[in-house]
A = this chain, B = another copy of it.
Amino acid sequence: MKRRKRANGRGDETRMRILDAAERLIAAEGYATVSLRRITQAAGANIAAVNYYFESKHALLEAIFVRRIVPINAERMRLLEAALALPGAGREKLEAVVRAFVEPHLRLTREFGPGGTVVMQLLGRLSTDPEGKIEKLLLKQYDPIWRRFAAAFRALLPHLGKAAVYWRFYYLLGALYYLSSARQWLPRRSERLCNPENVEEAIESLIPFLVGALTAPEGNAKPA
Contacts and interface: CB of A to CB of B under 8 A. Distances in A.
B216 A209 contact: yes
B194 A166 contact: yes
A164 B205 contact: yes
B181 A204 contact: no
Given A163-B190, A170-B182, A174-B178, A208 B218 contact: yes
Interface stretch (A12-20, A27-35, A37-45, A72-80): A27-35
A209 B168 contact: yes
A205 B167 contact: yes
A111 interface: no
Nearest to A188: B139
Contact of A30 (B117, B128, B174): B128
Interface string A174-206: 111111011111100111011000001010111
A171 B178 contact: yes
Contacts of A176: 174
Q: Is the interface of A mostly helix, strand, loop or mixed?
A: helix
A201 to B, nearest CB: 8
A208 B217 contact: yes
Interface string A49-66: 000000000000000000
Given A128-B33, A216-B209, A219-B207, A171 B175 contact: yes
Bin chain A's interface residue count: 35 or more
A189 B183 CA distance: 30
Contacts of A126: 181, 184-185
A171 to B, nearest CB: 4
A207 B213 CA distance: 10
Contact of A29 (B128, B194, B215): B128
Contact of A146 (B33, B164, B189, B193): B189
Contact of A222 (B121, B167, B204): B204
A213 B176 CA distance: 13
6 contacts: A32-B32, A127-B183, A167-B206, A204-B220, A212-B214, A212-B215
